[in-house]
């Protein structure tokens, strides 16, 4: 299914960008980051790995932690 593959690719890009933002905050571990922000460690790991179909609310909450809005976040994702 072509659309499913493209969707999965986008989830991976989103997860990679969230991992990059986490590291910029000084967190080397997703577990410590999730613990400090009262997030499910397993769920956050799944988001970073592109294995979770996160909700818009979840993404918005994560971006709030990083101080970035949706527009800037999506504009910062690699194209293609």
Domain residue ranges of the chain, discontinuous segments joined by +: 2-76
**The pLDDT of residue 79:** 82
* Rounded Cα distance, 27 and 6, in Å: 29
Reported as a single tens digit per residue, the pLDDT across 38-75 is 999 999 999 999 999 999 999 999 999 999 999 999 99
* For residue 16, pLDDT beyond 60: yes
CATH architecture type of domain 2-76: Orthogonal Bundle (1.10)
Q: Give the chain's mean pLDDT.
A: 94
* Rounded Cα distance, 76 and 17, in Å: 8
Closest of 44, 64, 65 to residue 54, by C-alpha: 44
Each as own residue / partner, the long-range contacts of residues 37-43 (CB below 8 Å, 24 or more positions apart, any chain) are 37/65
State if pTM tops 0.75. yes
* Rounded Cα distance, 4 and 73, in Å: 22
**The pLDDT of residue 42:** 96
* For residue 1, pLDDT beyond 70: no
Report the chain's terminal Cα–Cα distance, integer Å.
18
**The pLDDT of residue 80:** 66
């Amino acid at each position: 299914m072509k659309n499913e593959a493209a969707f999965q690719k986008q989830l991976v890009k989103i997860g990679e960008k969230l991992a990059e933002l986490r590291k910029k905050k000084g967190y080397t571990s997703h577990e410590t980051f999730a613990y400090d922000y009262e997030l499910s460690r397993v769920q956050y790991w799944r988001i970073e790995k592109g294995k979770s179909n996160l909700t818009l609310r979840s993404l918005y909450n994560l971006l709030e932690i990083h101080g970035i809005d949706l527009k800037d976040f999506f504009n910062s994702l690699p194209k293609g």
